[in-house]
Structure 1
Amino acid sequence: MSSSNPDITGVILVGGQSRRMGTDKAFLDLDGRPLIERALEVCREVCGTVLLVGNRPERFGAYALPMVADIYPGSSLGGLYTGLSHAITPAIFAIPCDIPFPNAAIMQYLISRRDDYDAVVPITAHGAEPLFAVYAKACLEPMRQMLETGNVRINDLYSHVRTRYVEKAELNALDPSGTSFLNLNTPDDYERARGK
């Protein structure tokens, strides 16, 4: 099946330590499928290519996808920078491996709003969602400068690039269940997702 956005690379972030969960979140089973496969499915539907960012190639070899190690290990901003650096497309869609209900319609909507912007970031009741967002190559240099100075707060990036925030009201119709931005950090989170 051809992607609807050949100029976008789906970057799945698989480098987290999963400390609070106690097990590798990418392989948590939900309805008979590991979380990584849910992220991969929507990326293949929406994006032209898919790239994994993390430092454990032995865990993900079965997926036969390119995997790159973090250039600046230890932070989500470093993961974004690594994925954007290695992407051959002008922009990426970043997605974490621990999102149980990734929504292709929301991904498409965010991508469709990127014309003249370097970052397109959804806003939910919990604030900005920087790890389910669009980033263009113009973000690389500001990201690098932040990482070099030890600032890994992704939200600080947005004042240095042309950022389009997509408010919750814009997304409500695409997310009727309100679950599209859940991510699983703890065993309690996992149990709640299994109950949905």
Structure 2
Amino acid sequence: MSEVEKGDVTGVILVGGKSRRMGRDKAFLEVAGKPLFQRVLELFQESFSRVVLAGGAPERFAGYDLPVLPDLYPGSPLGGIYTALSLADTEAVFVSSCDLPFPNAAVLRYLCSLSDGYAAVVPETPQGYEPLFALYKKGCLEPIRLQLERGDFCAYAWYPEVKVRLVPPGELAPLDPDGTAFCNINTPEQFAQLAAGTGGRCPAG
């Protein structure tokens, strides 16, 4: 993994979402016969020596034999990031939401390779930051904690407090030619489009 070796990063899958817009548990929606969660998990197990789940009810994932960390600050992805980073044995964690249909190994490896000298490595998309497929180091803990203590759960408001390597879309495009690495499915309509077959494209929001 270049600057970050496989054993130096803990893979963290955020599983605390309520799937309100979807109306059912997004983690276990199947695409091409495989649950979304399983797609992320397999990539992480190939990429990292340690994989943990953050924020979810342990019984939902009882069959996977993985640690499930209850959020220290419940109710947001930022709380899940803080929890995992606080409890990780490694200096860095790589975080992903649990519902990516097309998690991209090349993008993951590239982001990890950029970590030297930075507290965080975060992709950018045409829509803005992508904080839930990103790498964070222990130096992020204090600014995240202070923000959570203020009751601010924005996943990226604390970025100005640390040295962040932002990775623009053009830099990632050769690794993600279809533009699907950060595809996110939030509604039954989007999932229906995906299940019906979209040619490997992310359904329109």
TM band (smaller chain)? over 0.9
Q: Does residue 1:23 correspond to 2:24, yes or no? A: yes
Tell me the distance in 2 between the aligned counterparts of 1:95 and 1:150: 22
1:22-61 paired onto structure 2 within 5 Å: 22-61=23-62
Give me the whole-angstrom Cα distance separating, in 1, the residues matched to 2:32 and 2:72.
34
What residue in structure 2 maps to residue 185 of structure 1? 186
Output one character per residue of 1:96-130: Cα deviation in whole Å (capped at 9) or x when no partner.
Answer: 00111000110000000010000100011111100
Deviation at 1:192, TM superposition (A): 2.7
Match of 1:149 in 2: 150
Question: Match for 1:119: what amino acid?
Answer: A
How many residue pairs end up in the alignment?
194
Which whole-Å CA distance do the structure 1 matches of 2:129 and 2:189 have between them? 23
* Whole-angstrom CA distance in 2 between matches of 1:176 and 1:24: 29
* C-alpha contact (below 8 Å) 1:26/1:98 kept by paired residues: yes
> Which amino acid counterpart does residue 51 of structure 1 have in structure 2?
V
Unmatched segments (≥5 aa) in structure 2? 199-205
Contact 1:52-1:67 within 8 A present in 2 as well? yes
Determine the structure 2 residue equivalent to 1:137: 138
Partner of 1:85: 86
The DSSP-based 3-state class of the residue aligned with 2:6 is coil
How far, CA to CA, are the matches of 1:14 and 1:125 in structure 2? 25
Aligned-residue sequence identity (percent) comes to: 53
Please give the secondary structure, in 2, of the residue aligned with 1:6: helix
Q: Which amino acid aligns with 2:183?
A: L
* TM-score, scaled relative to structure 1: 0.96
Alpha-carbon distance in structure 2 between the residues aligned to 1:155 and 1:60: 28
What is the aligned partner in structure 1 of residue 120 from structure 2? 119
The root-mean-square deviation of aligned C-alpha atoms, in Å, is 1.2
Q: How far off its partner does 1:193 sit?
A: 2.4
Aligned equivalents of 2:27, 2:170: Cα separation in 1: 30
SS in 1 for 2:7: coil
Alignment of 1:158-177 (within 5 A): 158-177=159-178
Matched residue SS, 2:52: strand
TM-score, normalised relative to structure 2: 0.92
Name 1:8's counterpart in structure 2: 9
1:55-86 CA-partner distances (Å, limit 9, x unpaired): 31001010000111111011111011011111
Cα distance in structure 2, aligned partners of 1:41 and 1:62: 14
